[in-house]
């Protein structure tokens, strides 16, 4: 449970940091994730658990990978890690005294990992999020070779009960975390930490428990192909102009009574970005057009209703967010645009009502003017 709480807290932190990144498009629209391939390369240090000081058991490691992102939170990759591991042994005799010595050997470990983007899973998909936290689990085949230094120690009579020669292939279970820093839609930099567990035979020493090695690496990830799609909403309906008055024939002394033309309500939809109640510059134009109409029609009133999309957040969060969106439009009408407050009626629906079929278009305040 402690690890689960740590993962969740880290994902929420990544959401909070990334929430400041706003979409670059000035026009509202629904941003959809597009499945795509990616490649990555990492380099760093490996620590192999053993009978020596921590610094003495550090060795270099590298990893290259290629994978596919199926949806905003689920990916899979094929990676190959390689370079060097180390072992340690107590009681090595040199110069008449006993010390701890180390020995190194090489490996190549092809692996398959399933990756979970915790930031998108917990906080919702945001293509402009700066920091993203990812967890992964998987399996590998460790191909170890070059164990000559351990063989030399065994030949001198030191106890290496699981000493091996030649090339050995062992199954590996692995898991870890990655933190990515987004530079663009294509490129991100990242840190990755992984724990790998094998049988007790890996480091040539018998310990009665599994052998472990841990990797910490920094690297770069490059996305291939299109990563997202942007769907623009249909333009808001515009009220038709008043019907022209029929021409009065000169032969009639008085015009025939004309039917009363019923004016249709004027509607405008003010869209917002995810988790935001700030009116963008493009949407402010719509609010000013509404205000101009109201100032020219002194008996008209406007119903301002805020909404939130049901696809992200919680009911409580969306209730507050829809109220803030409605209030933002009302404040601009009465403040900047000079519309009387008594002519602006404000309400909000949270995510209980979804006026649009597309989820992301429901981040909206709908304004309807009636006379």
* Per-residue pLDDT tens over the stretch 63-107: 999 999 999 999 999 999 999 999 998 888 887 788 889 999 999
Looking at residue 137, what is its pLDDT?
98
* More confident of the two residues 217 and 99: 217
% of the chain at pLDDT higher than 70: 83
pTM: 0.60
Question: Residue 92 belongs to what H/E stretch?
Answer: strand 74-94
State how far the Cα of 138 lies from the Cα of 348, in Å rounded to an integer. 46
First to last CA, the chain: 59
Q: Is the pLDDT of residue 157 over 60?
A: yes
Which residues 6+ apart lie within 8 Å of 2 measured at CB?
Answer: none
| Residue indicated by tokens 């939130």 | 308
Tokens for 104? 């190194």
State how far the Cα of 30 lies from the Cα of 311, in Å rounded to an integer. 12
State the average pLDDT over residues 136-158.
94
Q: Answer whether 42's CB lies under 8 Å from 180's CB.
A: no
Distances (CA, A) of 202 to 50, 100, 140, 174, 349: 11, 19, 14, 15, 61
Looking at residue 18, what is its pLDDT?
46
Sheet with 344-348, edge to edge strand ranges: 266-271, 364-370, 301-306, 344-348
Q: Answer whether 163's CB lies under 8 Å from 103's CB.
A: no
State the average pLDDT over residues 240-256.
62
State how far the Cα of 47 lies from the Cα of 55, in Å rounded to an integer. 8
State the average pLDDT over residues 30-35.
87
């Amino acid at each position: 449970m402690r690890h689960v709480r740590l993962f969740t807290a880290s994902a929420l932190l990544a959401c909070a940091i990334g929430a400041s990144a706003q979409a670059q498009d000035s026009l509202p629209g629904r941003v959809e994730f597009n499945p795509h391939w990616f490649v990555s390369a990492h380099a760093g240090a490996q620590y192999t658990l053993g009978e020596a000081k921590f610094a003495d058991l550090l060795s270099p490691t590298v990893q290259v990978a290629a994978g596919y992102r199926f949806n905003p939170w689920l990916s899979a990759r094929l990676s190959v890690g390689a370079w060097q591991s180390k072992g340690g042994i107590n009681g090595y005799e040199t110069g008449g005294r006993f010390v701890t010595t180390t020995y190194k050997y090489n490996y190549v470990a092809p692996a398959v990992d399933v990756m979970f983007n915790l930031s998108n899973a917990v906080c919702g998909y945001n293509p402009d999020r700066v920091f993203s936290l990812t967890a992964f689990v998987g399996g590998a085949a460790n191909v170890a070779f070059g164990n000559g230094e351990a063989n030399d120690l065994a030949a001198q009579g030191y106890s290496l009960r699981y000493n091996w020669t030649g090339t050995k292939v062992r199954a590996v279970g692995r898991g870890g975390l990655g933190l990515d820093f987004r530079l663009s839609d294509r490129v991100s930099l990242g840190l990755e930490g992984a724990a790998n567990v094998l049988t007790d035979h890996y480091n040539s020493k018998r310990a009665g428990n599994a052998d472990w090695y841990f990797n910490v690496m920094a690297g770069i990830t490059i996305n291939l192909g299109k990563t997202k799609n942007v769907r623009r909403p249909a333009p808001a309906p515009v009220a038709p102009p008043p019907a022209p008055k029929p021409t009065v024939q000169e032969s009639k002394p008085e015009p025939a009574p004309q039917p009363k033309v019923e004016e249709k309500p004027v509607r405008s939809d003010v869209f917002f970005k995810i988790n935001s109640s700030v009116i963008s510059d493009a949407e402010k134009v719509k609010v000013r057009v509404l205000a101009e109409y109201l100032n020219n029609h002194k008996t008209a009133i406007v119903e301002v209703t805020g909404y939130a999309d049901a696809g992200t957040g919680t009911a409580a969060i969306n209730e507050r967010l829809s109220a803030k969106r409605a209030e933002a439009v009302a404040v601009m009408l009465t403040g900047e645009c000079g519309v009387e407050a008594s002519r602006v009626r404000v309400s909000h629906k949270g995510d209980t009502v979804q006026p649009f079929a597309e989820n992301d278009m429901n981040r909206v305040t709908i304004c309807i003017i009636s006379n």
